[in-house]
Amino acid sequence: MKLVFSILFLSVSFSTFLPLAIARGGLHNSNPLGLEYGPGTGSGRHLFEDDESETRVDVAQGYMTNTELERAIKAFGQRCSNISRVYSIGESVNGVPLWVIEISDKPGEEEPEPAFKYIGNVHGDEPVGRELLMLLANWICDNYLKDPLATSIVDGVHLHILPSMNPDGFLLRRRGNANNIDLNRDFPDQFFPVNDYVNRRQPETRAIMKWLREIQFTASASLHGGALVANYPWDGTQDKRKNYFACPDDETFRFLASVYSGSHHNMSLSKEFEGGITNGASWYPIYGGMQDWNYIHAGCFELTLEISDNKWPIANELLTLWEYNKMSMLNLVASLIKTGVHGRIFSSDGGRPLPGFIEIKGINYTVQASRGIADYHRLLASGGRYEVTATAPGYKSKTTGIWLDKAGTNVDFVLDPNVNRRGIPLQSACECRWGTRNVIGIPIWKYTCF
């Protein structure tokens, strides 16, 4: 790589064993409902909580500081300016910019391509993701037009990388942000009103929510530490019990999680999680998580990836962790163009784009086409036949059947307007605006006529 990261090699010793906690489990604000989950009830690997007073050596040695990470991001933007742009989605509690790298052959431009985002360092004491994401960005830049996988990602996907969602927590060496709030328990929840007060949400949470209002992401993954498993929705249950609770796209999520696990060095060989994947609620339920919120409110298929047994491994393990996760990270992004059905929706009356909807027979979930160029990207598990329907207010729906084998398929829909007996298009007297639509009792954002 042209951009060199200096990784110091050191040994870390602990004077005593620290309290055990599960990777997604929590400190402050992680259990607002008094639910029974944690080290005694959750299965999966356990790990050490950070406690600076009992740590002889600063585990952050060899990791980029927040200042160094910002410099690395900006340096990447200059070095790879032909296929990237750097922008901020907001600031942390202490005013640290939340920098994002976008990688694409046309960064910042609207194209009929899916968008994917990686988010690292959601928990301040899980910093492996921020290092690996910078290595990922630089690998793609160095291998564009040389490696077919790197080239297909740059040419076919808009990849957005947020190395650190929680820079304040990283600086403080703790899970929560500067207000000691667990950001992965700070999002609106589908079952309980734990985070319904907008003014109480943390600035990092608000920045993510605003980001997804501005960019329509097809899929996403957040990187965590403390276990080795690919976690998928739902993360919680309505009765607060630990059991498998499938979302409407359970088969697709299992497929995506298996793409990551199966491409990993040893995740799929797990003796604790079959195939190296798990339903979140089956592992242990959490509430206010970012993963479920993405799927419910933003139409974004998000995974929670636990990528290292140790939450904060010593720095000389980072390159090994990168090699273990590299193909998984690349293949998950590439899966957006290697599977599913993609296309655009047009009106037969003039050919203008229609921001309509895509529905799959038997799956109670609707994907919306973009408002600008009306492109849609409907992820689906490979190896099956699907009945795809396109709809738009004031237009006749159209349905077609597709077969997905080992590649995705493209289907453009041209919809005819509803007309009266004289053949004149019917003008809707209602106002079209953003609203909600229930899916198994859950509010889903959808363009609706009232």
**Catalytic residue set:** 306
Helix (H) / strand (E) containing 231 = strand 227-232
- Please name the residues in contact with 412: beta carbons below 8 A apart, sequence gap of 6 or more: 343, 344, 345, 346
User: Would you say 326 and 345 are in contact if contact means Cβ atoms under 8 Å apart?
Assistant: no
* C-alpha to C-alpha distance for 360 and 449, rounded to whole angstroms: 21
Helix (H), strand (E) at residue 78: helix 66-79
Q: Is 284 helix (H, G, I), strand (E, B) or coil?
A: coil
| DSSP β-ladder status, 46-48 and 20-22 | antiparallel
Closest CA to 67 of 75, 58, 59: 75
Note whether 132 and 332 are within 8 A (CB): no
Distances (CA, A) of 445 to 298, 366, 369: 7, 9, 12
Q: What are the DSSP calls for 226-252, one per residue?
A: SEEEEEES----TT---S----TTHHH
d(CA 366, CA 437): 9
Radius of gyration of the chain (CA): 22
